[in-house]
Structure 1
C-alpha cells in the first residue's frame, strides 16, 4: 500500500492506531526489561506514542503513522 492510499483509508488507519497502541501498552508492561530484550529501541517514545494515540488523537497526522509503520518498526 502506498502512503496516499493509507492516509485515505479510515479503517486501515484505525487498525494501525490500535496496533501501535497495543505495542505501546506492551512496552509499558515490560518496563525496564524492555531495554534488555531489545536494546537500542526508543522505549520512551514508544510508550509516549500510546498516550498521544489515546489523548491527542485529533492532532496526530496520518503521514506520521505511515512513517512509523514503514520506517521505524523493526
Structure 2
C-alpha cells in the first residue's frame, strides 16, 4: 500500500507536537510521501541517531535543517 499525503495514516497523526514516535526505519519507509525526499536524505539528516524515536514533526524539522546546511 502506498501512502499519499492526504491519506490518513498512523504516521500522519504524529505531525502534532508530542504525537506518536517512530523509529528511523519506519520513517524511511515513508520518506517520499511524508517529506517529499528520498530515504537517503532522511538517512543523512539522521546520521548518528539510529536508535532513537522521533515524531513526524521532529523528522521534518531535522530534514529541513539538513537540506539548508551550508556545504563548504
**TM-score when normalising by structure 2:** 0.30
Greater share of residues in strand = 2
Larger radius of gyration: 1
Greater share of residues in helix = 1
**TM-score when normalising by structure 1:** 0.29
